[in-house]
Every structure is written in C-alpha cells, then in structure tokens.
Amino acid sequence: MDFVAYHDRTSADHQAHFDDLFPQGYRITSLSVYGRRGDERYAAVWVRRGGPDWSAVHGVDFAGYQAAFDNAVAAGFKPVLLTATGPADDPVFAGTFEQRSGSVPLTRHGLVRGDVSDAATIDHWLDQARRNRWLPTSIAVYGEAPDLRYAGIWVDDSNGTCWTLDGLGDTAGEYQARFDALVPVGAFPHQVAVSPDGRYTSIFRDDRVDDWFARHELSSAGYQQVFDQFVPQGYWPLSVQGGGAGASTRFAVVFGKSDARLPLTWRAPTGPVANAALDDIMQQAMARHRIRGAGIALVQAGRLVYARGYTLAEPHYPAVQPSTRFRQASVSKTIVALAVHRLIQDGQLTFGTRVQDVLALTQPDGSAVPSMFHDVTVQHLLEHTSGLPTNPYGIEPQVALAFDLAGRPTQLPVDGRKTDRFLVTQPASPPPTTPSYSNWGYFLLGHVVMKVTGKTTLPAALSGLLTRPLSITGLRIARTRVEGQTPGEARYHPTLFGIGASIVDQDRRWRATGYGGFWGLERNDGGGGLSASVVAVARLLAMLDIRTNNPVLQPATIANLFTMAMNGGGHGFDTALVIDAAAGSYYGMKGGSLPESSQNCVRYMTGDLSMVLCWNRHDIGEGAGGDGWWYPDFPLLLNAARSLAWAGDDLFPTFGMPSLA
C-alpha cells in the first residue's frame, strides 16, 4: 500500500503535507486533531489511490466548519471524516469532503448526552439513526468529562449493517472491556475517538476488514513503536485517533493489511439434494436481511425430502451444513412437550401430577415453598396457566444473591435447581390462570423430565424418550459463552451489538448479550436452551406423521397432544389445530428467538410439507408487525416446494437415521 502517515504535526506542517500530497494523487483516509486549543496537533494517513474529487478543512471553529460544510454541499461534496478537539465551548474542527451522489449524510456537532427526545443530544440522533437505518461513519469527542461533546456523520445504509455507538466516553479500562466483549462476536472497531481528557468513544460495526489488530492508550512513542514493528510486515494504519496534549497524548489505532470491507458472498448450499428455485428463495431472503447462516429441512409423509445449509458470509466463514446445530430457543419447548407426552403415555406422569411432588423444591434458605406452588400441575405448565413467574433469564445474579443472603454462598453461573428455588419465592397467582407465555414453566418441565427419568442433564433425559428411539444425534444444551462454541455450532449475529454484565462469570465482566451478557443456557433449560440441527428437529416432525410402529408416540397420544394444544394452548406449540380428527390430520407451529442470537420455527401439518427453519440472526421480521415473509409458514418457499414432485427417496439415512416411513 502506497501511504504516508504522520502524527504530532502542527497545523502548518499538516497544511504543508496537504500541499505536497494532494497533487500527487494521495487522499486522506484517517484524520485526527488533538492537543490544546491554539496549539493543535494532527495525525493523518494518506493513501495514493483513485477516487472522486475531494477537499479538506482544518483549524476551524463551529462557524468555520459549518461554512465549509455548506460550501461543500453546495458544490456536490459530502462530509466523510470529522474530528475535533479543545474545550466544549471553543473546539477546533477538521474534516474531509468527497464529491458523491445521493443524499447528504446526517452531520451534527456540539451534541451532549441526554434524553432521546432532545435534538441537542447524541442520544437523540443515535435513536434516529436506528429508526432510519443510518450508519455511523465518523465520530469525534471533545471537551472533558462530565461535559463531553460529540460530533458525527451518519450515512444511509440499505445493507442492514450491525453497529453500536454505546461507548460514549469510556475510560481506557471500560473501552478495553467493551472491545473484549464485542470483537469475539464479529464486531470491528471502525473508529475509536479520544477526548482531550483521555475518554474513548467508539464505533463498532460488523462490516470488517481482514487481518487487523487494534491498540489504544498508546503514547506518541508507543504508537511509533507499533508502527515501526508492523508496517514492515505489510500492515498500515487504517485509523489513528489522538487525544490529550503533550506527554499526556494517547492514541487509539487500528492496523490492517487492507481497508477493504470483506463482502458477504453466497456459497454453494450444502446438502444431499438441490433445487435451484428453493435455494434462490433462501438466497434472496438472506441477502435482504444480512443473514449469514441458515438451515432448512422439509418433511413429507414421514420422509425427509429436503435438507440444506446456506451461507452468505465473509471468506473463511464456516459453511453452514444441514447438520449444523442452531440454538433452538423456544422450539426447545416443543421438544420438551413431546417428552412429557411420552412420559404420560408410558404412565410415568399424568397431566394432574403436581410439580412439587416431583421436584421437592425448597426456598434458598431451606424453608418450604409457598402453598400455591403445591397446586401447580404438569398440565398447567404445558398450557402456560400456572400463574408462576414467567422469565428465568437474566436473573442469575439475583439467584446467587438470594443464596448468599440465606447463608449459602453461591457463585455464578448458577444451576437450574437453584434458579427454581429462587423463583418460587417470587410473586405468583393460584393456578389455573389466564394463559401467560411462560419460559420458566417449560424450564420446570425440563427439570421434571430429568427427575422422572433419573438423569442429571436434559439431553440425557431426552435420549431415552426421544432421541435414541429416533436415532437423533447432536441434540445438546446450547453453550452460552462465545469461547465455549464448537465447530458444529452456528455462529450468531445480532441486529444490534449490545453488551451486559456477565451472568455466567463471577467477576461480571462485560459480555456480548447473546453470549453471556443476558442469556444463560446451560441450566438444563427446557424453555429455550437446547441446540440441534434442522435435520434433528425435522426428525421429530416426521415422527408425528408415523401412525404405525411409531417408536415414540402412539396415535392416540398424538391425537391427544394436538387436541389439548388446540383447546388449551401450549403443549409445545404457539398454535395448534385438529384439521380432521377422524383422518388424524393436525397442524402445529412454534417459533423461537433469542435476541442477539437466533430465530427459528417449526411448522407441522399432516399430509402437507412440514418445515424446520433456523436463522443465525434475530429480529428479521416475523409475523404481524414485521414483514411477515417467513414466519411461521414461509409461503413463498412452501408454495414453491409444493409445486415439486418429490421422489419417494428419504434423506434421513443420509444423516445416519433409518427411514421411519
């Protein structure tokens, strides 16, 4: 790369470089002004490359930058880079403009922190950016805490790029913690601005470059040392941002071997059979919503007729296979409900079995559970009418604290039984109540299944009831931490990068919300914690088609399951119908989503195509209120599939499972 980089240069030096490099075809790709007002210093990176006409301004105040902006826009130029330093009430600005078509990017300066309803705050414009799909491209921070001020540029983004600008004035340690939480889940530090008092404001995005590294809290000499070490290895500074003055100046830098963003490219789908029409539908859907990975499986009359893995991602991204495991989220409830109906069929449970009779829970201090908990039955849990607290997620620190206060010191992560013992202390209503969707209800059902079968994990309990009779392999409890993922598990990508205090680490370090900053999935979680491939889940749907020699459920059990689900709700489904009782024809669907992680659904229909669909991104327009294009029946795909003459072949043996039909 033909580039020139410098730092700690005066305004006059910077102007001299401009006068020298601009005529030679160089253009500024990174720009930072820092230091004391009236004695500013500049760091810049120039690259010799073609491109549109451009201009620059530096050393100007509010009015000067506004005038430069107005003149540039009038001439067809758009703002690209923006940087500032100095006190909150008298900053100095520098920036660049390029001749570009399209709308003028949102550009603001002098912003403070505050309410989203106040247009003078950066919080307001970040909210507007989310609502209008604007992507942050440049950020500046000046002043000193607690009176930091912000300036930034946001451009229209039709690609659905994931980003965050939550780090507004982090300390060096906070920025490092944010970096450590976000980078392992695919975030790239697009720009990290440094305030005059050493606070860090960062843009992280998921459109990254290849082969990069970042450093911060570098002195001038420290930055030069990194530069001298890595430039001979083919790296060059993609972003250099300074803050502070004199010996207190600190730099945040990003180095890479290229500043080209890695494109998301379509891979050849994987699976034993192919159909171009169906694959095209999936490709269009994934491109529309920036989905990197998906799996789909179609079942007809107990046979697996289609199973594909789809990848639209950067180079070197693991290709999704039909056997790739996805977090099943609330589809876990469908699996657990099938296991409960198997236990009832086998006489090991009844719908009226009282949950406390099985689990024998106590409160954290060892005292008896509230009396109303004794009235909760298996049927109440199946139908979401227990009146119990509904949500066991994100509460792990409260669970640990309850046991600590009871004199039973507990560290994170907490297990499922302790979670149950804490939740029984929370306000509840006597059952049965009006149905209220309950994650904890199915969490409890999973623990009931474990207790009745005498197994210490939910997958082990499900093995004897479902997975072993059906030759299903690979179903397991999902892993929470990003470092705990295995090669056969899908990677997950949020729509919005977020972090939270870990609920799986005792030190409460920041983690990405989808990987421990909110969700904890290893508590033998029947409400949303199972992980399985689309083929494995499709095997369960295929089982429901089998009415002779079914290895799991008898016809009467299947009929009762759908009848009770239609009449009372739940039983592992969001919606269920008995289409024709005499003919044994049923419909059931279940959706699942873990924000910042996955989104999926199962759709069963006797005599029709049944479907399992998993995406490795969330918030992609499901049902009413979204764009309704895939959930729960994906009519575009199913209608195309129905028009095909499926051969009598069964793909289950391809995945190590004997034919059921």
Question: How far out from the chain centre does Cα 604 lie?
Answer: 27
Whether the predicted pLDDT of 626 surpasses 80: no
Q: CA 342, CA 347: separation in Å to the nearest integer?
A: 9
DSSP H helical ranges for 136-262? 172-182, 220-230
State residue 636's pLDDT score.
93
Note whether 142 and 87 are within 8 A (CB).
yes
- Going from the N-terminus, what domains does the chain have, and what CATH number goes with each? 3-256 (no CATH), 276-331+442-655 (3.40.710.10)
- What is the three-class DSSP state of 107? strand
Q: CA 446, CA 456: separation in Å to the nearest integer?
A: 11
Mean per-residue pLDDT for 227-250? 97
The DSSP symbol for 392 reads -
Whether the predicted pLDDT of 627 surpasses 80: no
Q: Token digits for 328?
A: 């099943």
Give which of 537, 617, 603, 605 is closest to 328, Cα–Cα.
Answer: 537
Residue with tokens 């695919």: 186
DSSP H helical ranges for 263-368? 276-289, 331-345, 355-359
Within 10 A of 555 (CB to CB), how many other CB atoms are there?
12
- What is the three-class DSSP state of 79? strand
Reported as a single tens digit per residue, the pLDDT across 286-313 is 999 999 999 999 999 999 999 999 999 9
Mean per-residue pLDDT for 239-268? 97
Mean per-residue pLDDT for 370-382? 97
What percent of the chain has pLDDT above 90?
95
State residue 362's pLDDT score.
98
Output phi, psi for 617, to 5 deg.
Answer: -145, 155
Q: What radius of gyration, in Å, describes the C-alpha atoms of the chain?
A: 29
DSSP H helical ranges for 365-469? 378-382, 396-405, 416-423, 439-453, 458-462
Amino acid at 343: L
Q: Which residues pair with 41 in a beta bridge?
A: 34
DSSP H helical ranges for 613-660? 635-642
**Is the model more confident about 253 or about 158?**
253
Residues 6+ apart with CB under 8 A from 348: 452
Note whether 65 and 96 are within 8 A (CB).
no
State residue 619's pLDDT score.
81
Q: CA 444, CA 524: separation in Å to the nearest integer?
A: 10
Give which of 547, 539, 524 is closest to 476, Cα–Cα.
Answer: 524
Mean per-residue pLDDT for 583-594? 96
Mean per-residue pLDDT for 481-501? 94
| Residue 73 burial (10 A CB sphere; 0-12, 13-18, 19+) | middle
Note whether 182 and 512 are within 8 A (CB).
yes
State residue 623's pLDDT score.
67
Q: Token digits for 532?
A: 């399985």
| Residue 582 burial (10 A CB sphere; 0-12, 13-18, 19+) | exposed
CA distances from 90 to 59, 110, 142, 636 (A): 12, 10, 10, 58
- What is the three-class DSSP state of 7? strand
Q: Which helix (H) or strand (E) holds 68?
A: helix 62-74
Note whether 86 and 196 are within 8 A (CB).
yes
Note whether 191 and 233 are within 8 A (CB).
no
State residue 158's pLDDT score.
87
Average pLDDT, the chain: 96
Output phi, psi for 266, to 5 deg.
Answer: -80, 130
> How large is the angle between the packed helices 396-405 and 416-423, nearest 10 degrees?
80
DSSP H helical ranges for 163-322? 172-182, 220-230, 276-289
Mean per-residue pLDDT for 458-476? 97
Q: Reply yes or no: is the peptide bond before residue 146 cis, omega within 30 of 0.
A: yes
Mean per-residue pLDDT for 581-587? 97
DSSP H helical ranges for 183-289? 220-230, 276-289
Mean per-residue pLDDT for 523-540? 97
Q: CA 424, CA 354: separation in Å to the nearest integer?
A: 14
Q: Reply yes or no: is the peptide bond before residue 318 cis, omega within 30 of 0.
A: no
Reported as a single tens digit per residue, the pLDDT across 30-53 is 999 999 999 999 999 999 999 999
Q: Token digits for 373?
A: 């908990």
Reported as a single tens digit per residue, the pLDDT across 630-659 is 889 999 999 999 999 887 889 999 999 999
Give which of 543, 523, 566 is closest to 470, Cα–Cα.
Answer: 543
Note whether 528 and 316 are within 8 A (CB).
no
Output phi, psi for 590, to 5 deg.
Answer: -145, 130
Using DSSP bridges, classify how beta strands 39-48 and 3-9 pair: parallel, antiparallel or unpaired: antiparallel
